[in-house]
Amino acid sequence: MTLEPFGARLRHAMDTRGPLCVGIDPHAALLTSWGLNDDIAGLERFARTAVEALADRVAVLKPQSAFFERFGSRGVAVLEKAVEEARAAGALVLMDAKRGDIGSTMGAYAATYLDKDSPLFSDAVTLSPYLGFGSLRPALDAAAASGAGVFVLALTSNPEGAEVQRATAADGRSLAQLMLDHMAAENAGAAPLGSVGAVVGATLGDAGVNLAINGPLLAPGIGAQGATPADLPAVFGDAVGNVVPSVSRGVLRHGPDVSGLREAAERFADEVRSAVSGS
């Protein structure tokens, strides 16, 4: 069966669990801080603990594929298990892979993350559009067919991104705005929320673009990168109700204690609710 569209599932998850995405980023320093070795056993313990602590209560879990891939096929096997267990516990899984290519290669990436028969099938995947938005068509079509979603890079939190994303297109729009307008077109008519989201950094201050894409806005940069939930209204304006703030180290540094991870995630979720509601 085809799943209900991702946008609708995400809206429900945000409304019931709170609008928070927690990253699962098992980099070497974090494994060490948990008292784990930087090896497959440490990776497996880390992933299992994060999923156990968070998958039954946060809206979205976002594994960073690179931190699993660095261990080769055994790391990918750990990632497959984490995705399976997180989805079984009720979290939506956003695979942070930032794939971007053309033609059959983009189609292969789409099959990896957006085909329901794939062992890495996720509820959504991050994509890079800077080979041209049209290059994403295989992934957009695959997501629509399976009820999954995509998050497309628009304005990222890293300072280097501006040299591309703030550059001016032939018609005078910034490249970021051009990409956002493409996303809005993909989401036209969707309710309650489209399934094509944008990645917009929470550290940007005034984003300076029109974020009314009728889709979710993934906001990295909360916590260790310096942004706070209180910054969200200034960055996202009228679109703040569609923001999914992403926190990784701000929550994960409280592990390996399960209760510590849960308490940290709950604090961030409460802060986001207060910031979004203005209370």
Q: Prior bond to 256 cis, omega within 30? A: yes
Q: Two tokens at 30?
A: 């974090």
Whether 175 contacts 129, CB under 8 Å: no
Distance, in Å, from the CA atom of 39 to the CA atom of 35, rounded to the nearest integer, reads 12
The angle, 0 to 180 degrees and rounded to 10, between the axes of the packed helices 258-277 and 40-54 is: 50
Q: Provide the 3-class DSSP secondary structure of residue 207.
A: coil
Count of other CB atoms within 10 angstroms of residue 87: 17
User: Which among 75, 123, 128, 70 is positioned nearest to 97, based on CA atoms?
Assistant: 128
Who contacts 76 (Cβ-Cβ below 8 Å, separation ≥6)? Answer: 68, 69, 120
> From the candidates 62, 81, 98, 116, which is the catalytic residue?
98
Amino acid at residue number 189: G
Element containing residue 250 per DSSP (H, E): helix 249-252
CA 185 remoteness from chain centre: 21
Element containing residue 150 per DSSP (H, E): strand 149-155
98 classed as catalytic:
yes
Which residues are identified as catalytic? 98
